[in-house]
Amino acid sequence: MSSTRTLLLSRHSVLPGFGLALGYTLLYLSLIVLIPLSATFVKAATLGWESFWQIVTAPRVVASLRLTFGASLVAATLNAVFGLLVAWVLARYEFCGKKLIDAFVDLPFALPTAVAGIALTALYAGNGLIGSLLEPQGIKVAFTPIGITVALTFIGLPFVVRTVQPVLEDLEAELEEAAACLGANRLQTFGRVVLPAVAPALLTGFALAFARAVGEYGSVVFIAGNMPMVSEIAPLLIITKLEQYDYAGATAIAVVMLIIAFVLLLAINVLQWWAGRRNAEDN
């Protein structure tokens, strides 16, 4: 029965058959993703293991990698928490100006990253609207790792909101009402009803926000200050090496970033799969 249904679908499908569609898919992915990434590894391999290790373990490189991935994780975590709250408000409440706020969520998608960086720097600098209030309290944002985290949080928020919001809209409010009728308080209802349902989408949004933050350059370069060992991100260090015609050194740092990002995203995907499986078993 299933084979007959598959045959009928293949005959009446709008797109080409499986073989041709898969071939085009692999060709497209190879040209856009696999070949460029492979070229990066090939170029880094020309250094030799000793030279490669010497480059990627240099104090300046280690500091930039630590700052890049650390700030990205912090920003993605903040977006996971507050992005869930924003998605909850947009999905569950009706209020004046809702459509305007909903449009503001997509602003980091449309705004050029350089413009975002300039705007954030103007706001959080010592003479800026927000920075002038924070610096007298001993909190300096612009040209510090805190400023980098702010910029990465700004560009990552839409990924979480747009991933979680449809799930919350499809989640029936009657489930929460039933939990309340059974004696559950708000925290228990959130932990046992809402969170398990949105956990896979929330992890997906977290992964997207993290991946976006790791490779961000335009919005960060203005607010970071770009001081080596203090506020220099890895993408900027790669650009610096390219400007110095040190292509092998730049690709060595890029390879390390690719490997670390792949491992972290793989771990997040495993957690997402586990959360989805637990949710399916509970249902």
pLDDT in tens, 210-268: 989 998 888 898 888 888 888 899 998 999 888 888 888 899 999 999 898 888 888 88
CB neighbour list of residue 24: distance below 8 Å, 6 or more residues apart:
16
Share of the chain above pLDDT 90, in %: 28
3-state class percentages of the chain: helix first, strand second, coil last, to nearest 5: 80, 0, 20
> Does residue 108 contact residue 118 with C-beta atoms inside 8 Å?
no
pLDDT in tens, 53-63: 999 999 999 99
Q: Would you state the structure tokens that stand for residue 19, as one six-digit string?
A: 């073989």
What count of other Cβ atoms lies within 10 Å of the Cβ of residue 239?
Answer: 14
In 3D space, the residue among 136, 159, 151, 137 whose CA is nearest the CA of residue 67 turns out to be 151
Ramachandran category for residue 102: left, alpha or beta (phi over 0 → left; psi -120 to 50 → alpha): alpha
Tens digit of pLDDT per residue, the chain (283 long)?
Answer: 555 555 554 555 666 667 788 888 889 988 888 888 888 888 888 888 888 899 999 999 999 999 999 999 999 999 999 999 999 999 888 888 888 988 899 888 888 888 888 999 999 988 888 988 998 888 899 889 999 999 999 999 999 999 999 988 888 777 777 777 777 777 777 777 778 888 888 988 998 899 899 988 888 988 888 888 888 999 989 998 888 888 888 999 999 998 988 888 888 878 777 766 776 666 6
State the Cα–Cα distance between residues 262 and 251, nearest whole angstrom.
Answer: 16
φ, ψ for residue 140, nearest 5 deg: -105, 125
CB neighbour list of residue 120: distance below 8 Å, 6 or more residues apart:
142, 147, 150, 151, 154, 219, 222, 223
> Does residue 80 contact residue 160 with C-beta atoms inside 8 Å?
yes
User: Under DSSP, is residue 275 helix (H, G, I), strand (E, B) or coil?
Assistant: helix
State the Cα–Cα distance between residues 200 and 252, nearest whole angstrom.
Answer: 34
CB neighbour list of residue 88: distance below 8 Å, 6 or more residues apart:
168
State the Cα–Cα distance between residues 215 and 258, nearest whole angstrom.
Answer: 10
Tell me, rounded to whole angstroms, the distance of Cα 221 from its chain centroid: 18
pTM, full prediction: 0.84
User: What are the Cα distances from residue 97, in Å, to 83, 165, 166?
Assistant: 18, 17, 19
The three-state DSSP-derived secondary structure of 243-269 is HCCCHHHHHHHHHHHHHHHHHHHHHHH
